[in-house]
Amino acid sequence: MSESVPTTLRAVPPLPEGARVRLRLTRRGRAVLSALVALPLVIGALVFALNGGGALASGEQTHVSFQYVTVESGDSLWSVAERVAPNADPRDVIADIVSLNGLESAVVSPGQQLAVPSKYAH
């Protein structure tokens, strides 16, 4: 046989009119509430961080025509720039050559083929 446990129900007295109920949060309740408020902020920051580094593709295409120049023995980017564009500022020519060829340094080797924008090559 099963024993039944008597339950005692207490009647809650009604609040007087105009009385306000004060909400009290425990430490765990405050932690849960803080986590719920912070969660959308953290998710937004993660989405921004993961998507923020992506490049935005545009419909415009830039077309750069170029010609190749072979690096000779003893050449530097400066001498190549002066040779292919004697009337231009060598710093601008070097910047364009480095950008176009994806060079990591200004060191070039004899026999190396460098793309030079057509506006400089003659």
Q: What is the pLDDT of residues 37-67, one digit of tens each?
A: 999 999 988 888 887 656 565 656 566 688 8
CB 113 within 8 A of CB 100: no
- Are the beta carbons of 106 and 94 closer than 8 angstroms? yes
Confidence of residue 20 (pLDDT cuts 50, 70, 90): confident
- Summary mean pLDDT of the chain: 83
Residue 113: its H or E element:
strand 113-117
Domain boundaries, position 95: 66-117
What is the SS3 assignment for 90?
helix
Looking at the structure of the chain, the number of domains it has is 1
Give 74-103 pLDDT, tens digit per residue: 999 999 999 999 999 999 999 988 988 888
Domain-located, residue 28 = no
Distance CA 79, CA 119 (A): 17
Other C-beta atoms lying within 10 Å of the C-beta of residue 115: 17
Q: Is residue 110 part of a domain?
A: yes
Question: Is residue 98 one of the residues assigned to a domain?
Answer: yes
- Domain-located, residue 36: no
- Report the pLDDT averaged over residues 13-19: 80
> Within a domain: residue 2?
no
The verdict on residue 95 lying in a domain is yes
Q: Which two tokens stand for residue 44?
A: 């937004």
In-domain check, residue 97? yes
Whichever domain contains 92, its CATH number is 3.10.350.10
- Which DSSP state fits 117? E
**Residue 69, beta-bridge partner list:** 114
Greatest pairwise CA separation for the chain in angstroms: 108
Task: Report if residue 31 sits inside a domain.
Answer: no
